[in-house]
Structure 1
Amino acid sequence: MKFCTSCGSELREGVKFCPSCGKPIQAESQPQSPVNQPVTPPSPPVYQAPQPAYEEPVYGTAKHTNLIQRVINIITKPKEEWRVIASEKPDTTKLLVGYALILAAIPAIASFIKFGVIGVTYWGYTSRSIAGGIQYGLVQLLSALIGVYILAWIIDLLAPSFDSKKDFGRSLQLAVYSTTPQWLAGILLILGTSMSILVLVIGLYAIYLLAVGMPVIKETPKEKVVGYVVVTIIAMIVLTFVVALIIGAIVGLFFGAKMMGM
């Protein structure tokens, strides 16, 4: 019930003026109901997989072995080192440029010193020539690099015949690292033929490294390792001889033309 604020008369619902005093009646403001705001539900939490503290390398847990350590290990403990090599990803550039080229430079430099600086004695006469030393050095270097590549190619080509894994990268690893003793023995070229027996023994040790590495690198069955090695070495000797003749002829023609031009 409402009453006029001026005269106190009772007012009916909906009147705009007081019937007694005529005072306009102001409509009471009705409280507005709150507008219901749409409530957005909270977003569900995004699941994040826990991140490992480290990432496992694709090829095992092998660390990058420097050249000197690799040379020492492959010579002194080949069985353990082949397993380390097997856990590494083959890299043709690193194998040829970062390892083979450096070690193949040993016999090349030794040849230059022998023929270009020390000289070779025949019948009491010593012959030495800087040009000849460079020529022999180049032949040694090119023969070593091309030879190890051919060895890898032969190993990979023969792999299926001996139930072995056909993978040129692995074959190159086997060829490069097993040739390490022969490259190191290249320093003996300075002494000439007097060390030929020692060079032969070192060559046999290189064959041993090849045989030890085949079951690990090429997954060759043990009963087929000997046959695999023998056939590989025979093919390698024949092809290396042919390649050495070709390289020697090419380098000889080059230096011969240079000397005639002089």
Structure 2
Amino acid sequence: MIHHVLGLFTHPDQEWRQIRGEEESISHLYLTHTLLLAAIPAVCAFIGTTGFGWTLADGPPVVLSVGSALVMSALSYIALLMAVAIMGAFIHWMARTYDATPSLARCIAFATYTATPLFLGGLAALYPHVWIGLLVGTAAVAYTVFLLYVGLPTFMNIPPDEGFLFSSSVLAVGLVVLVAIMAATVIIWGLGMGPVYLGQA
């Protein structure tokens, strides 16, 4: 896993070709890749919100209770795993339109590796300052989109023009999934499972 992660940042096109040649079961993929990468933002957010606290503007940091942070981190972890599975399933379904026949496991692998910058960007949550989060988040999203547009034609072995349309469709669905997660978060908070603040750190 580690060499693929490094390769996606140093020589992405070559790394996508190597990933394309691998075949893993969904269970093995989740155990060795997705579960570990998705844990980065969840664990870092738990440590950051309970140890350092959120810093908004110039105000003092505010920390969450351990129980509240644990629940929110667990829910975000589950949401990330579900998002990867949904995106992988959509890519698998959409591939038929472009005469590509990847397995579902390979499509989930593609979704996992494409989201790698977002997962690694979760390291910024160790010190959850709004400006740090904004800068790191913007960079992570930008590189994720780059990996999507560069990697999909290579991974699916389709022409670049078809790859551009395919990637655009995947990006649109990804935005829909993101909005759905945000809406679910609002609903969950409304049911009384929102953050519990302890005050200033």
| TM-score interval, smaller chain | 0.7 to 0.9
Please give the secondary structure, in 2, of the residue aligned with 1:191. coil
Describe how 1:1-262 pairs up with structure 2 within 5 A.
67-121=1-55, 124=60, 126-189=62-125, 190-195=127-132, 196-246=134-184, 249-250=187-188, 253=191, 255=193
What are structure 2's unaligned runs of at least 5 residues? 195-201
Q: Flag structure 1 segments of 5+ consecutive residues without an equivalent.
A: 1-66, 257-262
Measure the CA separation in 2 of the matches of 1:187 and 1:115.
12
For each residue in 1:77-105, what CA deviation from the matched residue of structure 2 results, as whole angstroms up to 9, or x when unmatched? 11111111122113211221211111111
Offset of 1:198 from its aligned partner? 2.9
- Contact 2:55 2:128 survives alignment (8 Å): no
Cα offset, 1:151, TM superposition? 1.0
**Percent identity, aligned pairs only?**
25
- 1:27-49 Cα deviation digits (max 9, x unpaired): xxxxxxxxxxxxxxxxxxxxxxx
Shift in Å, 1:254 = 8.1
In structure 2, relative to structure 1, the CA distance for the partners of 1:197 and 1:244 (3 Å cut) is same
Q: Deviations over 1:41-93 (max 9, x none)?
A: xxxxxxxxxxxxxxxxxxxxxxxxxx222221122111111111122113211
TM-score using structure 2 length: 0.82
Partner amino acid for 1:187? L
**Could you tell me whether the CA contact under 8 Å between 1:159 and 1:166 is conserved in 2?**
yes
- 1:106–1:184 CA contact under 8 A, matched in 2: yes
Aligned pair count? 190
Structure 2 distance, partners of 1:93, 1:255, is: 31
Q: Counterpart in 2 of 1:54?
A: none
Bigger helix share:
2
Scaled by the length of structure 1, the TM-score of the pair is 0.65
4+ long deviations beyond 6 Å: none
Q: Which has the larger radius of gyration?
A: 1
State the SS of the aligned residue for 2:62.
strand
